[in-house]
Amino acid sequence: MASSENIFNNLSSNFSQLSYGRTKGDISQINRILDEINGLDYRYPLVTNKTRAVLLVNQCCSLIPHDESDLVSKCCRLITNLVVHQRIEIEGQTLSLVAQWCLLAIKHTPSTNAEILGVLKALLTCNEKNSLHLLSLIICSDSPVLSVACGSYLETALTAVQCLEACTYCDELRTANIKSELELASTIFLKYLTQEPKVDSILYNKVLISALRGLQNVITLDPDFLKKELGLLLGVTKSFMLYSIKGVSFEKPQRVGASVLNVPGTPLVLPKEKKGGKIAKQRKPRNNKKDAKKQEDDDEDFYFPIASDAEDASVSSRKFKTSDSDFSDSEHGRMARVGTAQDKVRQAALQLLLQIVKMTDKATIFGYWSSLIPDDMLVSANNLSTCILKDPSPKGRMAALHVLLTLITRSKLYLVQAETSKKYTAYTPFSVILGAMVTDLHRCLSLALNENYVTVLLQVFKCLAALVQASPYHKLMPGIARKVIRNVKVYINHRDAAVQVAALIVLECILGSEPVVPETKIALLRHREGNKLPALDQKDLSCNDLQEEEFVDFSSDEEDTTTSSYQEMPWLLESCLSNLGVQVAVSSPVKVQSLRVISAMTRNYFSCLIVPFLGQIARVLDLCLNDSYMDLRLHAGRTIDFIGQSLNQHLDAEDDNKCVTPEQGLIFWQILINNSLTALLQSQHHSVLRAVGCDCLASIGPHIFERFTVRTKPRITQVYQKLLERQTNFDY
């Protein structure tokens, strides 16, 4: 029995000997060979000679006329099987021949348009470089593909729109002069996106997905189109990012205008009005990069995806799958497919919005904040916060949070203008509106902490950390920072290590926020209290709920707790030291972040969080310096350096009521020098560790050094001499 490969080769050879003379014999012979070739199983390798397969395609398109619908249909099936399943690359003259043949066939045999467009789609998607050659053929004023895309038959219109999307998806098109083609394609995309959608139609939802992705391709290739149509594109994304979310009515896309800096309005009756003040000093970013542009891009790689087996409380009626074949033909299966398609529409809209935000100038996109971020949830639910809280798809919530993070990161210099005002004026200053937005964002992200999917929860923490860094709490309504601390603290003992790290990062940002507000200090000085996370179902939240429940009260009795005395260790320092101890097995990233939190305490909370517990901190740092994990030792050395510098600053201060005495500092350094710090300096194979050790000793300062014993001083000097000799030998 001949193998499938041999059968394919024989049939290809037979086809090459045919000629078409429009006789019944010729037609029947071509039909027979095409039926036999198409009858092979293309799921398995059949083609041993790819050149012969390309020649077969060439002969098919040369031999078969455009007006024979049966032959055209069978030829399209053959080409699609070869390109999609056998990975045959069609290029050069054969590619042009196939494309022109398909376009002529669309005009002459409308009944086969679905198969013909499937061939074009396969050629475009299986090899992106084909877009360079096919773009001008497929997208032109008299192109039949554009006519089909505008037609009433939805199935072929979908494939045509997908072809247009694929045409615009190629990085090599950036250097080509294709503005007219992109404008034609965008006209088709916007045609579907600016009319009333057919919500329950799976095919129509797929058209919307391709249109949104196509617009994203267009603005990527043509930034001038984005500048010209920015308002309309934002209106499209604003409508479709909330598409088919329960309880949110669809608003037909309209062109969005930029906000005026001073907006007339009536006095606000809610305590959201702001009062001015100095611009807060920006906290240094976590990665310590000083380049502002790099700081913007750091949001891309902040967390790594973490798998979670938690079930999303807001999704009770369906699972998320990507293939239509995964569902049954029952009504439930059809509704599930519709729901999945609607989810993908929202995600495509959010991806388009993210691309718009990244490609638009900071100052320009900031003018549209009021269209995306609410200052009052009672006015309208059509905003990004609603998407974050009510989107039933975890991927949708993740995408919305990614957009929000990018907006916050790119707008930090503007958000410091936010303020709360109790004065009623004839108009509402933009800074007051901005303050209301910042307050509402805190409310939104606090509610979003009820997330059950770990990956989405990490993104919530990421947004919250960026918002804390950008918020001028000294000019905002009192209590916001305190509630952030209250809502985040329950997660520092979460079962997932990544969540613990994320929560500690937010608290590190709180510690670095300047100027310090009294409520933050009070909240951080409380002693440990048992708190439990309540079950709050996101799907039951309405817009009214968002106004009434301003923040999630994770512990109802915490606000009545009195501030602990300095001798009773505050909860945050106790948690960090517990993570760094030997009593409980803690992952290395959690330990490293705990050290970063302690380092942040030295900046603004040294006297109340560090000084009373210098001895305990020194013993824990001594353990860290002996750890086998190198990063932990490096960060421990960095923390010692920070504490040493703060000790010197307070000892050098000309203040009679100093918070720390030289004797306290001496105890701290003696614990370290007598044990692990000396060993760190004598590390044979890690020059970075030795450098960190040198930085630590350099921060001892004269007030402490002169109080060392006569045995300790020579010991430190000898270590330095050995390091100097080793470096001198290395240089030579």
For residue 269, give both structure tokens: 């009756």
Q: How far is CA 127 from CA 91, 118, 166, 178, in A?
A: 9, 14, 10, 19
For residue 57, give both structure tokens: 């395609």
Neighbouring residues of 390: CB distance < 8 A, sequence distance ≥ 6: 245, 246, 247, 248, 314, 538, 539, 541
| Interatomic CA distance for residues 238 and 384, integer angstroms | 8
Would you call 409 helix, strand, or coil by DSSP? helix
| Interatomic CA distance for residues 723 and 690, integer angstroms | 8
Q: What single-letter DSSP state applies at residue 626?
A: T
- Smallest CA-to-CA distance from 451 within 467, 462, 440 is with 462
Predicted pLDDT of residue 274: 35
| Interatomic CA distance for residues 105 and 495, integer angstroms | 61
pLDDT digits (tens, 9 = 90+) for 543-574: 344 333 444 444 433 443 444 444 689 999 99
Would you call 255 helix, strand, or coil by DSSP? coil
Q: What single-letter DSSP state applies at residue 429?
A: E
Residue with tokens 């993210």: 354
Q: Which amino acid is at 709?
A: T
Number of helices (H), then strands (E), belonging to the chain: the values are 35, 2
Peptide bond into 267 cis (omega under 30): no
Q: How far is CA 197 from CA 200, 205, 207, 583, in A?
A: 9, 8, 10, 59
Q: Judge contact between 46 and 40, C-beta under 8 A.
A: yes
Calculated CA dihedral for residues 253, 395, 209, 164, nearest 10 degrees = 120
428, β-bridge pairs: 263
User: What's the distance, CA 142 to chain centroid?
Assistant: 41
What average pLDDT does the chain have? 83
Q: What single-letter DSSP state applies at residue 362?
A: H
Average pLDDT by consecutive 10-residue portion of the chain (732 residues)? 81 80 70 93 91 93 90 96 95 94 94 96 91 91 94 94 93 82 96 89 95 97 95 96 93 87 38 34 40 40 32 35 50 88 97 97 93 75 93 97 97 91 73 91 96 97 97 94 95 95 97 94 79 37 40 42 58 95 85 97 94 94 90 94 93 77 91 82 76 87 88 80 63 44
Predicted pLDDT of residue 591: 96
- Whether the pTM exceeds 0.85: the reply is no
Q: Judge contact between 446 and 552, C-beta under 8 A.
A: yes
Q: Judge contact between 490 and 533, C-beta under 8 A.
A: yes
Q: Which amino acid is at 350?
A: L
Please compute, for residue 176, the number of CA atoms within 13 A of its CA located in the half-sphere on the CB side. 22
* Helix residue ranges, H only, 554-604: 571-580, 588-604
| Interatomic CA distance for residues 196 and 250, integer angstroms | 9
263, β-bridge pairs: 428
